[in-house]
Structure 1
Amino acid sequence: MGGRGRSRRTQRKHFRDGRENVWKNSKSDTQEENGSNNSNGNNTNKPTHWQPFAVENSFFDEYYKEQGIVRPEEWDSFIEYLRRPLPAAFRINSCSQFCTDIRSQLEDEFMKSLQAEGTDGNEAEGIKPLPWYPDNFAWQSSFSRMQLRKNKNLERFHEFLKQENEIGNLTRQEAVSMVPPLFLDVHQDHFILDMCAAPGSKTFQLLEMIHRTSEVESLPSGMVIANDVDVQRCNLLIHQTKRMCTANLVVTNHEAQHFPSCHLRKNRVNPSELGMAELLFDRVLCDVPCSGDGTLRKAPDIWRKWSVGMANGVHCLQLQIAMRGLALLKTGGRMVYSTCSMNPVENEAVVSEILRRCGDSVELVDVSTELPQLIRRPGLKSWKVRDKSMWIASHKDACKYGRTGIVPSMFPSGQAHIDTSDIDQKITTGEICDDGNSGNSNNGLQNGDDEGEPTDVSVTEVSSLPLERCMRIVPHDQNTGSFFIAVLHKISPLPVFQTKSSKNSQQPHSDNDEKPKLLDDGVEKDNNAMDLDVLDATNEESIEAKAADAGVPDNESDEALLDSNPSKKLKGTEPEQVRTPNKVNTRAEKANDKRKLQIQGKWFGVDPVVFFKDDAILNGIKEFYGIPESFPFSNRLITRNSDTNHVKRIYYISESVKNVVELNFLAGEQLKITSIGLKMFERQTSKEGTSSPCVFRISSEGLPLLLPHVTKQIACASPVDFKHILQYKSIKFPDFVDDGFREKIATLSLGCCVVVLNRGNEGSSDPPTVDKSTIAVGCWKGRSSLSVMVTAIDCQELLERLLVRMETEKGSCLPENKPDSEVKEDSETIIG
């Protein structure tokens, strides 16, 4: 009874917390309104009506007027835009097979039809490409997300956005959120770290950049590691990036400020044999957690929640993450630091402290000439800090008035001023209370109080650093949200600061009190980094013993982690739920079970990363699909289950990802990998599937990469037959229109096969010639029928793209370019 009671109370509490943002009248007001209409005295206490969020906050206005992020004459326009709903924006996947078709559809169809569409009685611009985004691959709609959902005239456009987003051809993303990756200057061979990656839109963008010049038969030599600290957000990140279908991605789950470098001890293995001795990156995207007041237009509940403490509370964390990112950056590499906040305490203050700590090792890059059509404001060189209701012009004032939560790095100069004896004396005399507030004020110092206001608050510090090279995007310049971006270039290894005590190392500090120096071997050391005990081990036994102390996770299949059902991923219950073993083994018992530890992996609740090396299964796959030996399979296949007989999915990884996995193994599995690689093969578990010579079918995600190398189990279909397959999902052999295709299908073995659209020249060769424009779909050849093996929405997308191409290309195989409804009737006649 006690347990059930606690459960009910917990549920009620959670329900109450979840309804916090539902705006309704108070209970007493509702009772008064309902009482006069209820003759029997039974009040229903129903809320009267929904009320919109109050899009104003006097503290917000006062704070940003004082900081001067916009000129006084612009304030009204600035605040007016902040109170408007944010326009919908989306980006075309430039690596998609249909990217040019989608762009043409937007330019020739939707852009014109929605040009004069009225919403709520007002004329709107419709949709238009973002002028600063390359190649018209990013678009903005003047309609808000709410309008797209509610307006019937926009229903077709809304359905188009939803379908293409789910397929992966489009990514719905705030316009200003697209900016930071554009300043990273990503090349195809770069190793990239996205430190705080969820929900994954920027990661998707980075993957596009490394894939944009790759050929259909090859993979780029670069890779992306996308990291996030939150397990549930990692699931969302996996779901987002899965649509990219890439073998060059690893998703990890770490605190960004403690992200491991997987340093390889030189006395254990020759680094040249592996390709790397430490995991360092050419590019780092450091889009840190922030107060988020730049997203007010899409999250109006922030108006009510906003306070100065939101920014002050995350400043130190942001600084730690940024410093860790620079430590993981290669010399000569570039890092972008960004926030969706307008607050200088989270922006210029962090950047200036980075520059002070790093000295000549890091420079702030001037990118004012890049993306010239993007309107941006230069960074501030002077700002103030506010704590509760008190303005603080310098750290000296913070110490004077006992504001212990205000650190030197928040101020333009970064100068520390510590006079503990003065503070102790004032506390003793009652001038300053133990809680840090002045003894002469009530609930903190108020603005304008003569007794509490610092005497020199009007004279603020001015930074001597080139902070004007930072950029701030504000909403009224181009009808967007707000964003802050700084581009940093690492010139040389970072200096090392030896802290005097562990207490000092826990909080950011100014380098005025510390003398920088380099390590003897020239490698930078970062005190913000996690203490990696495993890396200090001197032999294999000590590494395994230390790993044993972490415990042994349950060995589950990869079904929960990488299931194709998005709803399972977003629940956040299966992939990384930490479970406590029923029996706690001693260290000796764990050390004696090294093999089991190696098989199951290091991290609780996370399935191990295992190289798939079953030659019998692999040779059977190669023989069945006619994959040549030249295709790189060696050490490129990954599973998440060490039992080969129960492997359900096999993932393919690029050469760069393979090197990282091998380094991670040698360094003691420092990376907590939640997702890796491209799903290439899946076990067919149906009764008919087990009778096939090969029980592993090619997944739809892996088909584009494998298609140029498949020489068996492949056939070309005429446009009519290909269309019928997509429409009806399963077709009997006698119902195919083309005799040649019917005969070819009959010669294939029972099991998975690939059907390629014949555009006129593919059918002349066997196997067919494929390129980037080739349209193909995975099917299952049964004893009497052919069934498609992709989702319904994938079929619908391919069908629509097929019809568009058939109508636009000359010599279309559809008679007289009939409408789809007429063609369907003809098809039903043929098949029926």
Structure 2
Amino acid sequence: MGGGRKRGRTQRRHFKQGRENVWKHNPQRPVAAGSEGAEWSGDGREGNPSWQPFATENPAFEDYYKAQQIIPEEEWSDFMNMLRKPLPATFRINASCQFFQDICSQLENDFRKPLETEVSDDHEEDAIRPLPWYPGNLAWHLNFSRMQLRRNQALESFHEFLKQENEVGNITRQEAVSMVPPLFLNVQPDHHILDMCAAPGSKTFQLLEMIHQSTKPGLLPNAMVVANDVDVQRCNLLIHQTKRMCTANLIVTNHEAQNFPGCNLAKFSSETCADDSKLLRLEFDRVLCDVPCSGDGTVRKAPDMWRKWNAGMGNGLHRLQVEIAMRGIGLLKLGGRMVYSTCSMNPVENEAVVAEILRRCGDSVELLDVSNELPELVRRPGLSTWKVRDRGSWFGTHEDVPRYRKNVISPSMFPSGKGTMDSHMARGSVEVNTDVVDADLKDSENMVGGEQETKASTTDGSNGGNPNTEETIKLQSNEVQNGSDKKSDSISTHTEYSNLPLHHCMRIVPHDQNSGAFFIAVLQKLAPVNENQVTEAIKCENSMSKDSTGKLKKGLGSDKAPHKENTVPQQGIDDGTVLDGQQNGDMDNETSNDKSLEEAKVLVNEVENDQAGTGDRRRKPQNQGRWRGVDPVIFFKDEATIGSIISFYGIKDTFPLDGHLVTRNPDANHVKRIYYVSKSVQEVLGLNVKVGERLKITSLGLKIFERQSSKDGSPCTFRLSSEGLPLLLPYITKQILYASAMDFQHLLQYRTIKFPDFVDAKFGEEASALLPGCCVVVLREGHQNIDSIAMDPSAIAIVCWKGKTNLCVMVSPLDGKELLERICLRYGLKVPKADDAKPSKKIDESDEQPDHSTEAVDPEARPESKASDMEIADVKEAE
């Protein structure tokens, strides 16, 4: 992700492969002293002499964090013992889901008490309990690891419950500390929110829960979430995760976070920002900046981290983390709040990044004290002092760093950041020896068995390397002559302290509340970022990047190489302070269609003239799309099709359709799916078109209509989508039926029923009288007035197809199974077994069923990568 030739490639490889997240065996790995891996595995391999557990030792890890003093010395034993235990499973209930109360009741009555009775002897405290710091008792902690959930017979039914509810979106399995950052955003119902590094999507889903929970059931919130990720394959996991939410308030984009494009129409338009009816600049009220990191806080969940970890991992990611965070500040509205977070314990990735943000932004950004928020969450204040380790040596100040390493170990990694400007200027005339940097990378890749495929296997700051190249030896010799050479394993006698309020940051450590580790800082933007401060730092950083002739290398102006290893792009400057083409040029390597200032002005004039009917017809149509390999977003305006849909389903005029329907196919005659977007998303799409489609949108909107064909035909070629039905149900007046609990159960159980076979004969007659095609069946139980059922947000309904002789359910088997169980539990019906789902002689399957080809999983929800079923079904929170 982001940056240099080798760094970007390495990180992208890591994102695609992912690190191991289960406690597996490895016959080639030595057993660490005191390791309890055999006990944790629970897989019956203890008697197998060829099996050996995970090693949970890394002396470099212990030495590093002892020296950093992230916890007091007397707690070290507790800290390490907790790190060697598997992580307990945690999950969160979706409070905006239809069966929220039923799930809470089921947890308390059907699982909590039985689990405590069956397994209380083997586990401390409660077997299952709500997390005390999470609002509304929506998050739950289990005193079992994921492996124990899979292996323990007593937990089998509970594990099946978790898997099923997770698949349909009623709960989300997520690490407890990963749930914390969104809570500190203080999301409000009308906020525009940006999740900069969103995959795999658990935090994005959490943000969507928040905005929908703040709105009355059945209504769309005014808020919106833009979820971004740099990697296409991880974007697909993100889409798969968020599709469970069925929301019209989400846009998924595919950009480098540090180069997220700015959409600023105000610079190119004579319109003023006083016109509130038009969105002129894409800014966000809240930004979640959960950056790529070394990930050593996830060692309990990903034990392979013990083997892979080295101190250079954090050093290599520091500059990228600063760039992403500064871009987030630039996209933030005045008064807005940004949360910076990592799942690392390393101060170089945490406090050092926050300190650099504050230094660059000055009084424009404030580090908030949020110690009064979530009071039951155990957290520790940020550090004010730390050291930097590079190639076996400790450095307390940047002046201590050997000259040939100053291009790798930057001043911003140190507590005071002292000498940032002076050091940059002094180094401006020093030519960077790229051979030394390349040797650095090779050394780090040869460490620990040559396996460095983590986020930190980067060019910057590999630890433990052996710089035995001729160039390095010469440079070291020069350093010795200058009296500044540092021997291996040396420790700097100087210690810096930061005078910034870094104690307002928070670090969550595992042994405080039996969790993973996390770092969180909450920043608020008080004023536009001082342009002079940031540009001066950027100029100094850019002076480091020179070619062999002494000339500056091509930097941000290059579409092919937007981010160089030794440059810091102008990420902290607000969009309004510099030209859009300079600061926010699209950073997609495969596309070089950036608009200059004049081109953007021409584009806006063309759009305005086109709206007035005087536009140049020769210009490229918008619907051809800008991004290679990504379908364009097209506003669906086929009046004939929309009219037939409204007429067939009797959709009320009060439901806004105009301007809210979009597709991904420019050919209106071959559109398969129509999506619905909220007003906030609609405004962003309109702005994106006007600025030249700067956003690379991979997914958006709520699927509401699908093209459907059948043998008998239908007056309407589009059927209702199950995902969009809850939103549309209160506005439908035709093609709607009301069924008893028994008939509703039979429909879900058998999926196809002939009209005479319904228990309620009147219901069968009403069904046969409908026009052929799609219809809606609503459960009438629990409602006194049938006429008002559809207006009730708690109404339960499914999409069906009315053929000549039968009704056929058009709900996925998984959703149908879950809904069937909910109906049976709520109304005291017998829950059918798997064998009972087979139709009886009386209830025969008919051949008059519609073509179910469109019932397959939406391609946008299905990852295009070769991710395993386990990876998709059990989407892990791999920060």
Normalising by structure 1, what TM-score?
0.81
Residues 825, 361 of structure 1: alpha-carbon distance in 2 compared, 3 angstrom cutoff = closer
Q: Using CA pairs below 8 Å that are at least 6 residues apart, which structure has the higher relative contact order? A: 2
Matches within 5 A, 1:360-439: 360-399=363-402, 402-416=405-419, 418=423, 434-435=471-472, 439=476
Report the counterpart of residue 490 of structure 1 in structure 2.
525
Report if the CA contact (8 A) 1:757-1:774 is conserved. yes
Residue 795 of structure 1: which of 816, 819, 822 is its match? 816
- 214-223 vs 637-646, which moves further: 214-223
Alpha-carbon distance between aligned partners in 1 of 2:82 and 2:291, rounded to the nearest angstrom: 25
1:148 Cα deviation from its structure 2 partner: 1.1
Query: Equivalent residue of 2:50, what SS?
Result: coil
Deviations along 1:570-627, one digit per CA (max 9) or x if unpaired, are xxxxxxxxxxxxxxxxxxxxxx995655222000000010000000000100011110
Say whether the 8 Å CA contact 2:192–2:285 is kept in structure 1.
yes
Would the alpha carbon gap of residues 628 and 519 (structure 1) be closer, same or farther in structure 2, given more than 3 Å must change?
closer
Query: 2:36 aligns to what?
Result: none
- Structure 1 residue identity aligned to 2:735: Q
Equivalenced residues, count: 732
Q: Partner letter of residue 508 of structure 2?
A: I
TM-aligned CA deviation for residue 435 of structure 1: 2.4
User: Which SS does the other structure have where 2:116 is aligned?
Assistant: coil
Please say if residues 268 and 597 of structure 2, whose CA atoms lie closer than 8 Å, have aligned partners that are also in contact.
no
Instruction: Describe how 1:4-153 pairs up with structure 2 within 5 A.
Output: 23-25=26-28, 49-118=50-119, 125-153=126-154
1:695 to 705, 717, 728: 717
Distance 2:797 2:315 in 1: 54
Please give the per-residue CA displacement for 1:396-443, whole angstroms capped at 9, x wherever unaligned.
00145744310000000101264569999xx9xx999732798589xx
Tell me the CA shift for residue 241 of structure 1.
0.3
Distance across 1 between alignment mates of 2:820 and 2:119:
31
Task: Compute the displacement of 1:126 (Å).
Answer: 1.7
Alignment of 1:276-287 (within 5 A): 276-287=279-290
Distance in 1 separating the partners of 2:841 and 2:182: 52
Q: Give yes or no for contact 2:600–2:692 (8 Å, CA) kept in 1.
A: no
- Mapped partners of 1:415, 1:167: distance in 2: 52
Say if 2:196 and 2:287, in contact at 8 Å, map to a contact too.
Answer: yes
Report how far residue 772 of structure 1 moved.
2.3
The 2-side partners of 1:540 and 1:352 are apart by 36
Given candidates 783, 800, 804, the residue that maps to 1:779 is 800
8 Å contact kept, 1:24–1:48? no
Letter in structure 2 aligned against 1:341: S
Aligned Cα RMSD in Å? 3.8
Q: Percent identity?
A: 57
Distance (Å, rounded) in 2 between the aligned partners of 1:414 and 1:325: 21
Provide the C-alpha distance between the structure 2 equivalents of 1:269 and 1:358, rounded to a whole number of angstroms.
Answer: 30
Q: 1:413/1:510 Cα in 2 relative to 1: closer, same or farther (>3 Å)?
A: farther
C-alpha displacement of 1:216? 3.3
**Post-superposition CA distance 1:24-62 (Å, at most 9, x none):** 3499xxxxxxxxxxxxxxxxxxx9733222111000000
Aligned partner of 1:359 in structure 2 is: 362
Q: In the alignment, which residue of structure 2 is the partner of 1:475?
A: 510
The superposition leaves residues 704-749 of structure 1 with CA deviations (integer Å, 9 ceiling, x where unpaired) of 0001101111111011111111111011100111133223212211
Q: What secondary structure sits across from 2:705 in the alignment?
A: strand
In the alignment, the residues of structure 2 paired with residue 491 and residue 261 of structure 1 have an alpha-carbon distance, to the nearest angstrom, of: 20
Separation (CA, whole Å) in 1 of partners of 2:146 and 2:119: 15
**2:37 aligned residue:** none
The amino acid across from 2:415 in the alignment is P
CA drift at 1:451:
5.0
1:685 and 2:709 equivalent?
A: yes
8 Å Cα contact 1:398-1:404 kept in structure 2: no
Residue 650 of structure 1 corresponds to 674
Task: Output the CA distance in 2 between the equivalents of 1:166 and 1:26.
Answer: 35
* Letter paired with 2:750: Y
Matches within 5 A, 1:592-741: 597-688=621-712, 691-741=713-763
2: distance between equivalents of 1:100 and 1:519?
Answer: 44
DSSP 3-state at the match of 1:115? helix
Q: 1 CA distance for matches of 2:486 and 2:191?
A: 57
- State the AA in 2 paired with 1:805: R
Aligned to 2:764: 742
Cα deviation, 1:443-489, whole Å, max 9, x if unaligned, reads: x9xxxx9955667x243100000000000000001100000000000
SS of the equivalent of 2:798 reads strand
Q: Any conservation in 1 of the 2:25–2:53 contact (CA below 8 Å)? A: no
Query: Would the aligned equivalents of 1:361 and 1:491 in 2 still touch at CA under 8 Å?
Result: yes
**C-alpha spacing 1:273/1:620, structure 2 compared with 1 (3 Å):** farther
Alignment of 1:180-579 (within 5 A): 180-268=181-269, 270=271, 272=275, 275-399=278-402, 402-416=405-419, 418=423, 434-435=471-472, 439=476, 451=487, 457-496=492-531, 497-498=534-535, 499-500=538-539, 502-503=542-543, 529-530=584-585, 534=594, 536-538=596-598, 543=603
Q: CA separation in 2, counterparts of 1:389 and 1:518?
A: 37
The CA distance in 1 between the partners of 2:834 and 2:84, in whole Å, is 49
1:423–1:786 distance in 2 versus 1, CA, 3 Å: closer
| CA distance 1:825–1:190, change in 2 (3 Å) | closer
| Superposed CA offset, 1:208-249 (max 9, x none) | 111112223421111000000000000000000000000000
Contact between 1:117 and 1:123, CA under 8 Å: does it hold in 2?
Answer: no
| Offset at residue 535 of structure 1 (A) | 5.0
Amino acid at match of 1:229: V
Greater mean alpha carbon deviation, residues 637-646 or residues 796-805: 796-805
Cα distance in 1 for partners of 2:28, 2:192 equals 54
- The structure-2 alpha-carbon separation of the partners of 1:387 and 1:822, relative to structure 1 and needing over 3 Å to count, comes to closer
Please give the secondary structure, in 1, of the residue aligned with 2:366: strand
Q: Separation in 1 of the partners of 2:27 and 2:688?
A: 53
Query: Does the aligned pair in 2 maintain the 1:116–1:123 contact within 8 Å?
Result: no
* Cα distance in 2 for residues equivalent to 1:123 and 1:409: 44
Cα 1:751–1:153, aligned 2, differ >3 Å: closer, same or farther? same
Deviation at 1:273, TM superposition (A): 7.3
Distance 1:423 1:637, change over 3 A: closer
- Summarize the Cα distance change of 1:102–1:437 in structure 2 as closer, same or farther, 3 Å threshold: farther
8 Å contact from structure 1 (residues 284, 334) kept in 2: yes
**AA aligned opposite 1:336:** V
Q: Secondary structure at the match of 2:647?
A: helix
Structure 1 residue identity aligned to 2:393: M
Counterpart position of 2:775: 753
3-state SS in 2 of match to 1:628: coil
**1: CA distance, partners of 2:166 / 2:235:** 19
Question: Any gaps of 5 or more consecutive residues in structure 1?
Answer: 1-12, 28-46, 548-591, 808-813
Matched-pair contact (CA < 8 Å) for 1:90–1:175: yes
Q: Contact 2:579–2:597 (CA<8 Å) still a contact in 1?
A: no
Q: Distance in 2 between matches of 1:217 and 1:190?
A: 19
Q: Return the letter of the residue paired with 2:195.
A: D
Structure 1 residue matching 2:520: 3-state secondary structure: strand
Deviation at 1:666, TM superposition (A): 0.3
**What are the superposed Cα offsets for residues 162-207 of structure 1, whole Å, 9 maximum, x if unpaired?**
1000000011100000000000000110000000000000000001
